[in-house]
Amino acid sequence: MGDLPGILRRLDYLADLGVEAVWLSPFYPSPQRDFGYDVADYCGVDPVFGTLADFDRLLMEAHARGLRVILDLVANHTSNLHPWFVESRGSRTSAKRDWYVWRDPHPNGGHPNNWLSFFGGPAWTLDPQTEQYYLHHFLPEQPDLNYRNPEVLEAMLEVMRFWLERGVDGFRVDAAALLVEDEHFRDEPPNPAWRPGMRERDRLRHVHTEHQPETHEVLRRFRALLDQYSEPGRERVLIGEVYAPFEILVAYYGSPEAPECHFPFNFALMELPPERWTAEDLQALVGAYESIVPGWAWPSWVLGNHDRPRVASRLGEERTRLAHLLLLTLRGTPTLYYGDELGLRDLELSPDQVQDLPGFREHGGRWSRDAARAPMPWDGSPGAGFTVGTPWLPLPVDFPVRNVASQEKDPHSMLRLLRRLLHLRRQTPALTVGAYRSLPAPPGVYAYERFTDSDRVLVAVNLTGRMQTLEASGEILLSTHLDRFGPERAPLGLRPQEGILLRPTGEVVPWR
């Protein structure tokens, strides 16, 4: 299945790779209707994944290697088998009735309003016993908690304390934009931008279910608790899962006086359609984000996660190398999805192999999130070093050649590129804390510099199929082809689909 002892065994790999923190998707006891995002006990470990003692060891060993551990806080909803919900649904007068969002049927006898669920159909399910509907933005097996009840907030803070006391370094808040809904339960208006092929839920504009002011209040409370547990040099981090345009996204930082997330994930690169991976679009996208993230706040970049097609399937091998160069040289915290460092592709699954039925429905049956959740191929042995049994999902078809062991041996592999990038980043203050400035460049080339008072590096990415030249001299720290290092003089040639990282000497002259 992929479990905690398994991660423990691979911590050296992660430390060598050069990452600094690991975000674990939910491993809590769960009926697994949604890959653990339906939690039945927030303070335990599902036996499938190990024990609490395994977790404590993992945390200790991670810390011993300088790796931080971030947990997934599934705060918006529980499993329908969580004791809180079992009690809540028991009767209209149960002490926990109000821990979830219950509503009478609409006077016409139907659903309380028109809200829709991510996984298809209404966001309401009728409980026949008590003849009320409960709210669920996801599966009916994922009832929504009611944060308007202060006891619920207190209970979730208690969950956070449980893990903080054990030593975790922070949380990624699942579905952070959905924590609280409109108190008047107003219908959502139709979305004029909806087109066939888009998700059914987006037939509506989510003005009453997403980004509500009360949601920000909950996040402020989460953050205040984390700050209580933070010490200088050992901050505990709050990351929000928020899909939104930049102007809405940045509200999730809160303000310096009332901070919320250290950063909300910025999914813009992950959501950028492949045909828009052009120099002009990238420069505009990064520029728009850079200009809207408040000066006191910290940016984020993400190329992949467990809910979206893998970057190598979206962009192909060559452009994935360029994307990784951007991910690790743009300003802010990069989030790398496991396996993307090998250039793993989406699995091609037949409908009978799909385990993620809700996600399959969400994507209209065209794609399932399992495609991006393949077992990690460590080597070319029959179970790929992942298992000696039958893996929970098929191994990637190309695992005999695309695996960690084989890429270790290949000096030009994607894995070697990622490792080199991660290490360069850690050694180079301009890349970790420097400012960003885009540079003029010939059409099809995206170029920028990152700089501090005493350090400066230049990134240039040729997104065209032609050779390009640039008027700069200096030391090549890295080419995405991994075949070019050391001093070079102007004019520098950039091969098709090549990106470079350069420490320039003298003035950087814009390109010819």
Site for ligand GLC, residues 450 to 479, rule: CB under 6 A: none
Site string for ligand GLC, 227-256 (x = CB under 6 A): --------------x---------------
Residue type present at position 49 = F
Both tokens of residue 358?
Answer: 């809700």
The active-site residue, picked from 34, 38, 54, 241, is 241
Toward ligand GLC, which CB reaches closer, 80 or 329? Answer: 80
The count of residues in the chain is 512
| Helices 311-329 and 414-427, packing angle to 10 deg | 20
Cα-Cα-Cα-Cα dihedral sign, residues 247, 250, 251, 256 = negative
User: Binder to ligand GLC among 71, 74, 393, 422 (CB under 6 A)?
Assistant: 74
Number of H helices, E strands in the chain: 14, 18
Cis peptide before 491 (omega within 30 of 0): yes
Q: How far is CA 403 from CA 184, 247, 254, 395, in A?
A: 53, 40, 42, 11
Toward ligand GLC, which CB reaches closer, 32 or 94? Answer: 32
Toward ligand GLC, which CB reaches closer, 210 or 241? Answer: 241
Q: Beta partners for 334?
A: 301
What is the smallest separation between the CB atom of 76 and ligand GLC, expressed in angstroms? Answer: 7
Does the annotation count 241 as an active-site position?
yes
Look-up of token digits 């829709």:
116
8 Å CB contact between 23 and 172: yes
Q: Does 386 bind ligand GLC (CB under 6 A)?
A: no
8 Å CB contact between 474 and 495: no
Give Cβ neighbours of residue 313 (< 8 Å, ≥ 6 apart). Answer: 345, 346, 371
Site for ligand GLC, residues 10 to 49, rule: CB under 6 A: 34, 37
The active-site residue, picked from 3, 144, 174, 188, is 174
Toward ligand GLC, which CB reaches closer, 22 or 463? Answer: 22
Toward ligand GLC, which CB reaches closer, 175 or 460? Answer: 175
Q: Does 307 bind ligand GLC (CB under 6 A)?
A: yes
* Of 247, 317, 321, nearest in space to 289 by CA: 247
- CA 251-112-40 angle, 5° bins: 65
What is the smallest separation between the CB atom of 27 and ligand GLC, expressed in angstroms? Answer: 14
What is the smallest separation between the CB atom of 205 and ligand GLC, expressed in angstroms? Answer: 19
- Give the binding-site size for ligand GLC (rule: CB under 6 A): 9
Does the annotation count 141 as an active-site position?
no
Site string for ligand GLC, 173-212 (x = CB under 6 A): -xx-------------------------------------
- Helix, strand, or coil here: 504? strand
- What's the maximum distance between 2 C-alpha atoms anywhere in the chain? 78
What is the smallest separation between the CB atom of 138 and ligand GLC, expressed in angstroms? Answer: 5
What is the smallest separation between the CB atom of 458 and ligand GLC, expressed in angstroms? Answer: 35
Strand (E) positions, 98-251? 102-103, 124-127, 132-135, 170-173, 237-240
| Exposure of 384 in the CB half-sphere (CA atoms within 13 A) | 23
Site for ligand GLC, residues 404 to 423, rule: CB under 6 A: none
Toward ligand GLC, which CB reaches closer, 32 or 51? Answer: 32
What is the smallest separation between the CB atom of 373 and ligand GLC, expressed in angstroms? Answer: 10
Toward ligand GLC, which CB reaches closer, 307 or 370? Answer: 307
Q: Looking at beta carbons, which residue is closest to ligand GLC?
A: 37
What is the smallest separation between the CB atom of 358 and ligand GLC, expressed in angstroms? Answer: 7
Toward ligand GLC, which CB reaches closer, 243 or 246? Answer: 243
Site string for ligand GLC, 86-115 (x = CB under 6 A): ------------------------------
Give Cβ neighbours of residue 174 (< 8 Å, ≥ 6 apart). Answer: 26, 37, 72, 73, 74, 75, 76, 241
Q: Does 260 bind ligand GLC (CB under 6 A)?
A: no
What is the smallest separation between the CB atom of 381 and ligand GLC, expressed in angstroms? Answer: 30
Toward ligand GLC, which CB reaches closer, 37 or 134? Answer: 37
User: Binder to ligand GLC among 99, 138, 338, 367 (CB under 6 A)?
Assistant: 138
Distance CA 125, CA 127 (A): 6
Distance CA 385, CA 404 (A): 10
Task: Please give the positions annotated as active site.
Answer: 174, 241
- Residues that bind ligand GLC in the complex, under the rule CB under 6 A: 34, 37, 74, 138, 174-175, 241, 306-307
